[in-house]
Amino acid sequence: MSGTSETETMAGASRKPLVLDLIGLAARLILGGVVLVAGLLKVTDPTAAERAVRAYQILPYDLAGTVGLVLPIVEIVAGVLLILGLFTRIAAVIGGLLMIAFIIGIASAWARGLTIECGCFGGGGTIPAAETNYLPEILRDIGLVICAGWLTVRPRTTFSLDRRLF
Amino acid sequence: MRPDASAKLAANRPKDGPSKVLIGAVIAAVAIIVIVVVVIVNAEQSKSSAGGSANALSNGGGVVAYPGKASSDAPTVDLFEDFQCPFCKHLETASGAEFDKLAKNGDIKLVVHPMTILDRPGTDDSVRAANAAYCADDQGKFVDFRRVVFANQPQEGVGYTDAQLKQFGAAAGITGDAKKTFDQCVDAQTYKNYVNNVQTQAEKAGVFSTPTVKINGKAVSNQTMNSFMQDPSALDKAVKAATK
């Protein structure tokens, strides 16, 4: 098994790679968990997901609808891959690009004075100005970008299918 | 004797595990197929150029309340509402009579757009309520019907049964044969496609929340909307200000 050979090599080396692998595991589970939940909550209500994207008023009407439909599926795939640790780097890149797109979208809505809910976990659409939550939403997504960045640079993590299979 | 190296050799042999390319290709293919199917199914569902009720504008444009009353130079006031939306009820309670009065006098052309924002997966209360409103429009009772619906609005999320919607029709003054036609229209959801069309057109016009009021195509500010909910005379002021 690959597990045995790895522990043998690691026994001689410093403990540092193990710590880094564990940080990677945490990054994987946080990013993957959030993205998977976000996708699952949206995929059950495609109409709301379409509307949430349209409420940003960035993309043309029909394209925004398609994005609303496709996005949850991409999120679920990337989320599952991250949690399993399969194709970690590719999944992390996808997750990171999504988060960057979300940050741009939210910042743009904020800057244009729209009062919308991000629709990150279902829902979305226009809400009263007092209920907007732009800064925490952006900070959360920045945190997730950091997770994605870590995994892109160093996709090796503990308990990953990547390690077990390939 | 030389030590047996077979164990070491076995450990160093390249692993013949599953192919990374193959697994990746399968995952990507499944994801792409799911995406294509979802997009196509959705495009099919949203295809509809259904006609509306007696006073409904074509292409999901909403219902003209008090048709034929508006003077030729009267500004158009579009009212976007969801029969399940509590703030729409507030608006109706505070300023509904004022909207009606201005429309009846011909000072404004009032167009009502019943929306379905508050329907969640598996529920279609806003769709059925909006459909019933169009059914009432065929009997000349659109305005009365929506007033009854708001007067009997339950807590958000409770929704309306078909039996309730039929009672609302009776309370709106639909009787006799007209009531039979109305009930059939409610049961058959005759205007379901038109309901969805109105929702789509409203979104295309940038309306993502209810209530929204547009005067001559321009949405009023939140502040103005709040004033409508407190002071009936605010509507007339806003209309005059917008058309000066």
Residues B156 and B71 in one domain: yes
| B17 in contact with A, Cβ within 8 Å | yes
| A81 in contact with B, Cβ within 8 Å | yes
pLDDT, residue B119, reads: 84
Residue B5 within a domain: no
Residues B175 and B145 in one domain: yes
CATH code, B169? 3.40.30.10
pLDDT, residue A11, reads: 46
Residue A105 within a domain: yes
Say if residues A74 and A94 touch (Cβ distance below 8 Å).
Answer: yes
Q: Can you give the residue range of the structural domain that contains A20?
A: 15-161
pLDDT digits (tens, 9 = 90+) for A74-116: 999 999 999 999 999 999 999 999 999 999 999 999 999 888 8
CA A70, CA B37: separation in Å to the nearest integer?
Answer: 10
Residue A104 within a domain: yes
Instruction: Please check the confidence at residue B155 and state whether its pLDDT lies above 60.
Output: yes
In the structure, how many helices (H) and strands (E) does chain B have?
A: 10, 5
Please state, rounded to an integer, the average pLDDT across all residues of chain B.
90
Using only C-alpha atoms, chain A has a radius of gyration, in whole angstroms, of: 18
pLDDT digits (tens, 9 = 90+) for A60-82: 888 998 999 999 999 999 999 99
Tokens, residue B100: 């009606």
Average pLDDT over residues A140-151: 97
Q: Can you give the residue range of the structural domain that contains B124?
A: 63-243
Instruction: Please check the confidence at residue B123 and state whether its pLDDT lies above 80.
Output: yes
Other Cβ atoms less than 10 A from the Cβ of A135: the count is 10
ipTM: 0.75
If we measure between CA atoms, which residue out of A50, A83, A48, A45 comes closest to residue A66?
A: A50
Rounded to the nearest angstrom, the gap between the alpha carbon of residue A37 and the centroid of all alpha carbons in its chain is 10
Contacting residues of B for A66, CB less than 8 Å apart: 39
pLDDT digits (tens, 9 = 90+) for B8-45: 666 665 556 678 889 999 999 999 999 999 888 877 76
Instruction: Tell me how far apart the terminal alpha carbons of chain B are, to the nearest angstrom.
Output: 107
Residue B227 within a domain: yes
Residues B72 and B188 in one domain: yes
Chain pair A-B, CB pairs under 8 angstroms = 59
Instruction: Please check the confidence at residue A124 and state whether its pLDDT lies above 90.
Output: no
Residue B225 within a domain: yes
Residues B119 and B28 in one domain: no
Our count of domains for chain A comes to 1
Residue A9 within a domain: no
Other Cβ atoms less than 10 A from the Cβ of B212: the count is 21
Residues B133 and B26 in one domain: no
Say if residues B119 and B129 touch (Cβ distance below 8 Å).
Answer: no
Place of tokens 């904020």: A110
Count of positions (residues) in chain A: 166
Residues B196 and B225 in one domain: yes
Contacting residues of A for B121, CB less than 8 Å apart: 44-45, 47
Residue A10 within a domain: no
Percent of chain A's residues with pLDDT above 90: 66
Percent of chain B's residues with pLDDT above 90: 69
> Which one of A48, A81, A126 has the shortest CB-CB distance to B209?
A126
Average pLDDT over residues A140-148: 97
Residue B10 within a domain: no
CA B75, CA B70: separation in Å to the nearest integer?
Answer: 9
Categorize the per-residue pLDDT at B174 as very low, low, confident or very high, splitting at 50, 70 and 90.
very high
| A63 in contact with B, Cβ within 8 Å | no
Residue A7 within a domain: no
Residues B129 and B157 in one domain: yes
Our count of domains for chain B comes to 2
Residues of A (86-115) whose Cβ lies below 8 Å from B: 86-87, 90, 115
If we measure between CA atoms, which residue out of B44, B64, B43 comes closest to residue B52?
A: B64
pLDDT, residue A7, reads: 46
Categorize the per-residue pLDDT at A1 as very low, low, confident or very high, splitting at 50, 70 and 90.
very low
CA A29, CA B198: separation in Å to the nearest integer?
Answer: 42
Instruction: Please check the confidence at residue A35 and state whether its pLDDT lies above 90.
Output: yes
